[in-house]
Structure 1
């Protein structure tokens, strides 16, 4: 019997606060850490199967048209080559990794340069790669294709449009107004581990060992692509070397590996080279954002406008939800928010970490900085006086919200009162010093999740769910929740993840993993606690479990004795409910940044940053801090270096490796001060936790940009802020 809960009412009891083991919230090490540093964690390419063949994908060299291999016989005759495969089931682009969205299949019909259209399979990787590089195509690309999003007529996304009050009138009548256009570059997920899948058939059953974030959906996507039943597909993904959205959905290497192993009767491994990952895995769209802010004499917003242009390939449904937090973060009676989608023949766009807020929040926060300067008030004060009491569009209350507290604590920790107050005035030798801040916000979501927990007769416990750990700390967090609820030390808990035969978890995406899977484990453990109470003849609320001992009233008994040779199995299931509709749920934070900009060269160095975040109950302080550190690091990259560059002639990505797509490295990132606020959000989940993985990114680039302006007096409205955008206006140039 599964212990199920639908979140229709707030979980005001806060049961985790009543437990006694002292695990939840503690900064415990990851149990998978020793496996990773010793090389014993098995990643996708490291499974050793007998008689494995190697496949290498072949990419299209046209932007649109029909690809036809011109020298198939020659390729098939090369040393070691087993087959050259083309198939209508090959993917044009990955699935998005969410319910109801299937991968797009097109075989040899090409929609973008670099699309995988064939697979060469050989005895060795080197032979397959050599043959794949020798493939030649017939045919020409269609002419006059759209590649530039700003040069085509876009489609308005009706479900993203808000037109409330009269923004034009608010702008005319405002005491202070901002009307600006910002642009952000496209981004690649650039996870450390490239995509890889190893497929093998056992009769009519397929096993895929791969690197994926959302196995519940991935099984359905793969089955759909191959035309087989879902119960014939098993995916193993116990360790994932980073995802950031790139591994949400089934990708071309998985489908091609499955087709190839069926064709040759042997296991086949298909690993994407770094360049192929850039070519064929969903990118984050570039954006053009028009922001209008109208304020009265006191700096209170009377109107807010945020309209964005994004792009995607023809036929794709996804549109980067740029205004996602603008809907609720600040007040303003007159509001106009909109999203337009341009169809271009570039690599398809999709979810990259913190879709929407990652690019929308920095722009909104830069515009707020511009407004604060126009009014002549502290940027922190401007934000605080515009925090709405209720959702300004839906007129519903907010759940727990720590935005004002994050702003105040961040200002105190950073020493905001000692900041440089006038752009360009603080100089240290050849360096211009500046300070900037920005707010952080990310929508919070709960997703359906299931888990099974077994309390073994020997006093240990196992946790099983197909939830994945993409470096976020899931192994540790779920072990902590189980240990807390069952009164067991952390070394008595074994968490098993990444096997689609386990109960269905929500997957790693949308920052919902910890709260959703953690809640399902919590409910499964409640099931076990009730079974223990039946043996002790007590009420569950009277039961204390700690250090492997059960206590109720005046009776205390080791769990091993109480179990008497039996295992107790609990199953838990959480589903979203009315609390997600009746109140606005989000996570909040604030960033404070100091930069030094060289007055002669334009080089920018981030010298220190402080980030303060409120994300409900923190389940593991160490892993949560690590997530925020990673998010801020990505924000530094967005502010200063990260930019996908497309060739205007055929739309292909020019900088498709880590030598040319510049992510921050050690010397780019200073020591970062992270503060996690104490918070419980009863409406978010039965364990009062919310998502934190993406929050650390949402607005971080804005703080860096505002600090650069404060240092130089140069307002750059085009991310990333590279040297060429500064050097012509610097005082030393």
Structure 2
């Protein structure tokens, strides 16, 4: 079938709903007679609750309930672990005991008839603590680095990296420290909970509605089918809503206790406590090379922070095994358990941090060798994935460099640090590679053909802003041969066909492939109905002699208009429905190494007198397989680049070592890029055909767009100033001349 809509830069089908305010987010689903809940967060970083004085609060106007560990119901907390949850440890059992495990842990919930009254009452609740001093710094010498339990790839090795490093003619051996980051999307976490008998409905911000359904069912000891999770729109997330956090349990608990629908919205400050964060990481990169720039040794050691009650892991060192050719590679990954809440996946988890260290070290090596940074990477371009000894399903890294370098004007760069100026400003140009796995997960979808010729498509996916409604509509329209206006796509309900989490850059690959499969299944069902219907022109025809062309069914070679979907459904007298699933062929997955690749170029201007750093422009080129919607893809890339600017220059959650309190848990001191910080950003896509990754030939994009940005900025700062900064974020004091 000729491509009709896939590859077209169509505007968002949900755009009007968003700009007119008709798109409803979790906190918008107000229920009749609902009441309001506010969480009370622990002001001790470790210890136990020694006393609760709730009498005065319970007598305040409008207060309906004050729930603490003393009167909270004992919940079953049945066994449940999704792949999105840490494999080792146990989630926080909220209000089930008097222990305080980290600062900000929920220790009470106050319910009142208005939000103002609930907030006032919550701030008045008095709790006494037997406090201990927490350990919250992963660099604390008393913190032991542990091997993640059950981790198959905590340590990898090929050749003898240490011996070859010792004898390398040219060597770089440095350490890197990346600050903790918090997600801080526009929409705060919110849940409205309402019980009807033993059935619970949650209007809840979630990137994984079927998992939230299963998690809450396990916590309350009820069948999953008794829980319905609804989330049609998400106002940004970046991974913070992948897991089901304690506030969802608290909203459901309060609703059951009061017999009323309960609305609970976290404050911005509370979002720094219990909804995850990008973990602080400490890394060592050691690279040895011959004089011609060929890598002889690569060592990547990294440690990430985690809580004491769970082991959060991410792919911090994985890219070092495959991104460049090197015969001797050793990686080591460790965890450092602290008195903090459990970290969580944040856009580009693992790769964003690991690639920063690797790409900065490689840039440093290029200066030691006197080689152009791109040429160094070109000389170490692998033919296969040397970590698994597999061919890549597709790999366009060097093409990405060629495309991006041309658009950026890399040839105008002079190689010496501090050699480029614009008036009094120091100008620097930096470059870095980006990569992210092309993941795929099993997914299902349903399609329903209606008498008016339209199609309804449904799947329990989520949309946190990348344009899922639009891209999935395009896949269905393409497969069915319909205009996009005749396809209605729905998501965000746990009673729709199950889908994987909306994260990890696998939504289009997984859900899109399932929608394609469901569309083909409904077409096959329609064919069988049509050939058995005497009122239709294809009656009696052989199924293999009939074809769909442009959304119409006709005998192969027949020039007549044929039958539309509406004709077939109307004749049948009822809609035609089909559900199908899609998953990656395990044999194909075993044969190929599947990744997206990209090249990112950045120009910065540094004021030599006051040390301010401004990103002037950035250009990225990406090899991501088939591009379903270039407009949405470019938007994803620029969004990722902006996140990378934040990671490089601004974002840093600071904890008070005395109690673990985030001292900048508000948007005045936790800095993120705003309009004046955002320069000209360009995203380009190289033509890449990958028949192996999935039936659509698509790879992920949301994560990789952030991955290479921070090292490109850091490398540009070095080129501008001659000062190599190995910590993130880069601050004014890091570049000022001492």
Question: TM-score, normalized by length of structure 2?
Answer: 0.93
Partner of 1:604: 613
Q: Given the alignment, which residue of 35, 39, 59 partners 2:41?
A: 59
CA contact (8 A) 2:505 2:701 kept: yes
2:108 paired residue among 115, 118, 128: 118
1:287-436 matched pairs, under 5 angstroms? 287-436=281-430
Which residue matches 1:702? 711
Q: Partners of 1:503 and 1:614 in 2: how far apart?
A: 31
Q: Deviations over 1:25-67 (max 9, x none)?
A: 1111111110010000111111121000000001011112222
Question: Hey, what's the Cα distance between the residues in 1 that align with 2:617 and 2:19?
Answer: 29
The match for 1:557 is 562
In 2, Cα distance between the equivalents of 1:85 and 1:523?
48
Cα displacement string for residues 167-218 of structure 1 (whole angstroms, at most 9, x for unaligned residues): 1221122121111111111111111100000000111100000110011211
- Please list the CA deviations of residues 60-91 of structure 1 after superposition, one character each: whole Å capped at 9, or x if unmatched: 11112222552111111111100011235599
| Distance of aligned partners of 1:550 and 1:419 in 2 relative to their CA distance in 1, 3 Å threshold | farther
Q: 1:551 to 1:131 in 2, by over 3 A?
A: farther
Counterparts of 1:71 and 1:147 in 2: how far apart (Å)?
Answer: 33
User: Greater CA deviation, 711-720 or 378-387?
Assistant: 378-387
8 Å Cα contact 1:20-1:487 kept in structure 2: no
Distance 1:287 1:452 in 2: 42
* Range with greater deviation from structure 2 (586-595 or 226-235): 226-235
Q: Distance in 1 between matches of 2:695 and 2:680?
A: 35
The question of 1:98 aligning with 2:84 is answered yes
Residue in 2 that maps onto 1:674? 683
Distance between the aligned counterparts of 1:379 and 1:298, measured in 2?
Answer: 13
For residues 548 and 112 of structure 1, the distance between their equivalents in structure 2, rounded to whole angstroms, comes to 61
Q: What is the distance in 1 between the residues matched to 2:467 and 2:273?
A: 29
Distance change (3 Å), C-alpha of 1:58 and 1:347: same
CA contact (8 A) 1:69 1:135 kept: no
Aligned partner (choices 466, 488, 511) of residue 460 of structure 2:
466
Alignment-derived partner of residue 624 in structure 1? 633
Q: Secondary structure at the match of 2:311?
A: coil
Q: Which moved more, 1:571-580 or 1:401-410?
A: 571-580
Per the TM alignment, residue 671 of structure 1 is displaced from its structure 2 partner at its CA by 1.3
Assess if the C-alpha contact under 8 Å between 1:90 and 1:106 holds in 2. Answer: no
Residue among 270, 276, 279 paired with 1:285: 279
Q: Give the whole-Å Cα distance in 2 for the aligned partners of 1:407 and 1:540.
A: 47
| Unpaired stretches in structure 2, ≥5 consecutive residues | 531-537
100 and 141 in structure 1: CA distance in 2 versus 1, 3 angstrom threshold: closer
1:226-305 equivalence runs, <5 A: 226-305=220-299
What secondary structure, in the 3-state scheme, does the structure 1 residue paired with 2:225 have? helix
In structure 2, how many angstroms separate the alpha carbons of the residues matched to 1:436 and 1:350? 29
* Conserved? CA contact 1:299–1:375, under 8 Å: yes
How far did 1:545 drift? Answer: 3.0
Comparing 390-399 with 126-135, greater Cα deviation is found at 390-399
Distance of aligned partners of 1:155 and 1:630 in 2 relative to their CA distance in 1, 3 Å threshold: same
**More divergent stretch after superposition (688-697 vs 674-683):** 674-683
**Partner Cα separation in structure 2 for residue 531 and residue 499 of structure 1:** 25
- How far residue 393 of structure 1 moved from its aligned partner, in angstroms, is 2.1
Question: What is the CA–CA distance in structure 2 between the aligned matches of 1:89 and 1:349, rounded to whole Å?
Answer: 24
Cα drift, residue 347 of structure 1? 2.7
* Contact 1:628–1:674, Cα closer than 8 Å, also in 2: yes
Q: How does 1:563-582 map to 2 (within 5 A)?
A: 563=569, 564=571, 565-576=573-584, 577-582=586-591
CA contact (8 A) 1:613 1:676 kept: yes
* Contact 2:134 2:659 (8 Å CA) reproduced: no
Q: For 1:636-686, what per-residue CA distance to the aligned partner results, in whole angstroms no more than 9, with x for missing partners?
A: 111111111111111121111111110111111111111012222222111
What CA distance in whole angstroms lies between the structure 2 residues aligned with 1:223 and 1:664? 39
Residues 614, 146 of structure 1: CA spacing in aligned structure 2 closer, same or farther, 3 A cutoff?
Answer: closer
For 1:607 and 1:150, how far apart are their aligned partners in 2?
Answer: 37
| Aligned-partner Cα distance in 1 for 2:250–2:496 | 25
| Residue pair 2:91, 2:310 contacting (<8 A) in 1 also | no
CA distance, structure 1, for counterparts of residue 105 and residue 317 of structure 2: 30
Map 1:501-650 → 2, pairs under 5 A:
501-534=495-528, 535=530, 536=538, 537=541, 543-546=547-550, 552-554=556-558, 555-559=560-564, 560-563=566-569, 564=571, 565-576=573-584, 577-650=586-659
Distance in 1, Cα, partners of 2:545 & 2:295: 49
Question: Mean alpha-carbon deviation: is it higher for 132-141 or for 273-282?
Answer: 132-141
- Asked whether the equivalents of residues 95 and 249 of structure 1 are also in contact (C-alpha less than 8 Å), the reply is no
Gaps of 5+ in 1: 1-18
Confirm or deny that 1:132 pairs with 2:122: yes
Give the corresponding residue for 1:208.
202
Contact 2:45 2:131 in 1 (8 A): yes
Task: For residues 455-484 of structure 1, give each alpha carbon's deviation from its aligned partner in whole angstroms, at most 9, with x where no partner exists.
Answer: 212100011011011101111111101101
Match of 1:74 among 56, 77, 102: 56
Give the secondary-structure state (helix, strand or coil) at the position aligned to 1:326.
Answer: helix
Q: Is the CA contact 2:134–2:660 (under 8 Å) kept in the aligned structure 1?
A: no
Q: Number of matched residues?
A: 709
Query: Secondary structure of 1:140's partner?
Result: strand
Which one of 639, 651, 669 corresponds to residue 660 of structure 1? Answer: 669
Question: Residues 660 and 406 of structure 1: is their aligned pair in 2 closer, same or farther, counting only changes over 3 Å?
Answer: same
Q: SS state of the match for residue 274, structure 1? A: coil
Contact 2:312/2:342 (<8 A) preserved = no
Contact 2:54 2:125 in 1 (8 A): yes
The alignment yields a C-alpha RMSD, in angstroms, of: 1.9
Query: Which residue number corresponds to residue 7 of structure 1?
Result: none
> Bigger CA drift: 149-158 or 404-413?
149-158
Contact 2:82 2:211 in 1 (8 A): no
Shift of residue 391, structure 1, vs aligned partner: 1.8
Q: Which residue of 2 aligns with 1:40?
A: 22
Matched-pair contact (CA < 8 Å) for 1:21–1:547: no
- Residues 508, 667 of structure 1: alpha-carbon distance in 2 compared, 3 angstrom cutoff: same
Whether the 8 Å CA contact 1:20–1:545 is kept in 2: the answer is no
| Cα contact 1:420–1:710 (8 A) shared by 2 | no
Shift of 1:220: 1.1
Q: Which residue of 2 aligns with 1:494?
A: 488
Which moves more between the two structures, 340-349 or 630-639? Answer: 340-349
Q: Deviations over 1:328-354 (max 9, x none)?
A: 111211111011111111232121111
Aligned to 1:712: 721
CA displacement, residues 345-380 of structure 1 (integer Å, 9 cap, x when unaligned): 123212111110111112111111011111111111
Give yes or no for contact 1:147–1:650 (8 Å, CA) kept in 2: no
Distance 2:544 2:11 in 1: 30
Deviations 1:676-701 (A, max 9, x none): 12222222111111111111011111
1:154 maps onto 2:167 in alignment: no
1:728, distance to aligned residue in structure 2 (A): 2.9
Deviates more, 1:578-587 or 1:73-82: 578-587
Matched, 1:457 2:413: no
